[in-house]
A = this chain, B = another copy of it.
Amino acid sequence: MNNEQSITNKLINAFSALPGVGRKTAERFVFFLLKQPKEFLENFGADLKELPNHNFFCPQCFNYSEARTVCPVCADSKRDRAAICVVENFHDLNVIEATKEYNGLYHCLGGKIDPPEGITPDKLRVKELLERIQNDHIQEVILALNPDLSGEGTIIYLKKILAPLNVKISLLARGLPMGGEIEYADEVTLANAIKGRRILN
């Protein structure tokens, strides 16, 4: 293992590149892998090698697509084609999909408006969103952007340019997260929870 170019060292370096993985953790991964069956490692390696050949954008919603065709969500005939949920990227899309609460289509913006970082609306897929709303008889647009500064800015911008389009615009509810404690909630969250309170009787 003194050999800098040994296969374990190369793998430790590769794993260290993953987000949140330091050298110690990467070492643990590799020592764990050394004990795994040959078949597991061969499949794992083959899938990694294949990944670049299955990395496309859905031409409709810009979700990740494994082939040069529309993504599984857009291809699914059971989805409600009158609703578009606008997300920052396909990662957020997947998190929403996992809830199984939403049955419409998506639109991946590719980021949030962030002028200091040079991300202006023309760098995002805003034009494509407007075209879809106008051409595909969309009735509701859900703005599912992160409740942070640039997310709020993007929401304000989209609300403004969608206003003339005769489409219902909605936001994800803001309030206390499940398991959250009022005592420790920040003021904005608590204010949102009060504003959005539900009448029960």
A residues with CB within 8 A of B: 1-3, 6-8, 10-11, 14, 17-20, 25, 27-29, 31-34, 36, 38, 40-52, 54-55, 63-64, 66, 71-73, 76, 90-91, 94, 97
CB distance A42 to B52 under 8 Å?
A: yes
Q: How far is the CB of A85 from chain B (nearest CB, A)?
A: 15
CB distance A42 to B49 under 8 Å?
A: yes
Sample of 19 further A-B pairs with CB below 8 A, known A44-B45, A45-B51: A1-B63, A1-B64, A1-B71, A1-B94, A6-B54, A8-B66, A10-B43, A11-B48, A14-B43, A14-B47, A17-B36, A17-B40, A19-B29, A20-B28, A27-B94, A33-B51, A34-B51, A44-B49, A45-B50
Q: How far is the CA of A6 from the CA of B3 in the complex (A)?
A: 36
CB distance B38 to A52 under 8 Å?
A: yes
Which secondary structure dominates chain A's binding surface? helix
By a CB distance below 8 angstroms, the chain B residues around A45 are 44-51
Counted per complex, copies of this chain come to 2
Q: How far is the CB of A45 from chain B (nearest CB, A)?
A: 3
By a CB distance below 8 angstroms, the chain B residues around A36 are 17
Find A90's partner among B6, B31, B71 (CB 8 Å cutoff). Answer: B31
Q: How far is the CA of A65 from the CA of B164 in the complex (A)?
A: 68
What are some 11 contacts across the A-B interface (CB < 8 A)? A7-B50, A11-B44, A11-B47, A14-B43, A27-B94, A33-B51, A34-B55, A41-B48, A42-B49, A44-B45, A45-B46
By a CB distance below 8 angstroms, the chain B residues around A76 are 2
Q: How far is the CA of A44 from the CA of B17 in the complex (A)?
A: 11
CB distance B46 to A49 under 8 Å?
A: yes
